[in-house]
Amino acid sequence: MYDFIIIGAGMGGLTVGSLLAQVGKKVCLVEALKKPGGCAHSFKKGDFSFCASVHYLHIEGKENYLDELLKKLNLENEILLERLDPSACDVFSCPSQKLRFTLPNKTEKFYPKKHFRHFVQSMAHRIEHTAGCCVSYKTQISKVHISRGKIHSISTTDGREFSGKNFIVNMDAQKFSKMMGPHHFPKSFQEKLQYHYSTSAYSVYLGMEGINLSDYGFGKNLVWHSPHFDVRKVFHRGQKECDLKNPWFLMSTPSLYSASEDDSMCPKGACILQIVTTCRYELFANALRQGEDSYSHLKNLVLNSILDVVETFYIPNLRKHLKQITAGTPTTHARQ
């Protein structure tokens, strides 16, 4: 029996699990997917490796909790962080008004020198390599077993059962509560669980060759594009009216942030551009309910709208340099 069973290997689950393992607790971390990280996980497409959602790490205030965490886990020499210049990290760009300027920012910002895949894997290995602990991937929960008001074990879709003294849930609270049964919660908490998925992200991942993004004004920063200077109006149009024909978006260039020693992010001479905007979850969920054709049509419509803007204002002939292209919608992120 484990001291702690943690459900979900996102950064929250990895952090708690590795800290508990470090102080001698028997930890089992179960994850539905085949890799750890949650929103910070990386995925491979062709010769390119993309981080799903994270662009950099930032710290507000005087205390550097990242350094403290890595020291507690004895990972300060394994996970090396590059400090980014906070005065140049975020750039606002509005080509229609011929505006481009650096946004004021006082927070400390960092990027892992071997990229987020190494960061996440190092955290997971800290648990896996501790006696009495494990990380179980491709482990999807099917049932929660409760006795005398306390969870004592969970069953999985492949017929396994995990028993523990304590359980920490780092997955969708609504989904987990349904497995437990709503009657186990106070009425006030049941009401809180009746939430709807809110604003989410539409992400574009581009692997490129034959181009140096530094020549086009990109570097160790995020470029925040807005079609108009009235950013509130632009945001409202995308969120309330679901109009993504000419959205705001941010662009990041992780291959320029930090050179990977093993070239694991992309081939030598290649580069990565990641683009993300926000939109309502229901927009794509409704399209998916109508069928795969409707969903794919909307997904490609938004993708080409974004690529058109980038090609017009930032990188001429962008599409000629594309070797790998993929996009993730709010429903993609929900399924991960």
State whether 95 and 153 are in the same domain: no
State whether 200 and 108 are in the same domain: yes
State whether 319 and 269 are in the same domain: yes
Mean pLDDT over residues 238-262, rounded?
80
pLDDT tens column, 111-156: 898 889 999 999 999 999 999 999 999 999 999 999 988 999 999 9
Question: Could you list the residue range(s) of the whole structural domain that residue 12 is in?
Answer: 2-42+59-79+118-192
Q: How far apart are CA 279 and CA 242, in angstroms?
A: 7
Mean pLDDT over residues 191-212, rounded?
90
- Residue among 225, 226, 332 nearest 281 (CA): 332
Q: Residue 222 is which amino acid? A: L
Q: Quick one: pLDDT at residue 59? A: 77
For residue 297, pLDDT over 60 is answered with: yes
Reduce the DSSP state of residue 240 to 3 states and report it. coil
State whether 237 and 162 are in the same domain: no
Last residue of a domain, one of 161, 192, 223: 192
Is residue 51 assigned to a domain? no
For residue 92, pLDDT over 90 is answered with: yes
Q: Residue 101 is which amino acid? A: F
β partners of residue 108: 59
Exposed, middle or buried: residue 137 (CB in 10 Å: 0-12, 13-18, 19+)? middle
Q: How many distinct helices (H) and strands (E) make up the chain? A: 10, 18
The token pair at 151 is 């969870």
Last residue of a domain, one of 165, 192, 219: 192
In this structure, what CATH number is given to the domain that contains residue 135?
A: 3.50.50.60
For residue 61, pLDDT over 80 is answered with: no
The larger pLDDT score, comparing residue 243 to residue 73, is at: 73
Give the global pTM.
0.90
Reduce the DSSP state of residue 155 to 3 states and report it. strand
State whether 264 and 295 are in the same domain: yes
pLDDT tens column, 178-190: 999 888 889 998 8
State whether 285 and 210 are in the same domain: yes
Backbone φ and ψ of 168, nearest 5°? -120, 125
State whether 63 and 187 are in the same domain: yes
| Residues sharing a CB contact under 8 Å with residue 84, sequence separation 6 or more, in sequence order | 56, 109, 110, 111, 220, 221, 257
Using an 8 Å Cβ cutoff, are 92 and 103 in contact?
yes
State whether 169 and 223 are in the same domain: no
Reduce the DSSP state of residue 323 to 3 states and report it. strand
State whether 130 and 276 are in the same domain: no
How many domains does the chain fold into? 2
State whether 98 and 126 are in the same domain: no
Residue 260 pLDDT level (bands cut at 50, 70, 90) = very low
Of all residues in the chain, what percent carry a pLDDT higher than 70? 96
Is residue 271 assigned to a domain? yes
Is residue 48 assigned to a domain? no
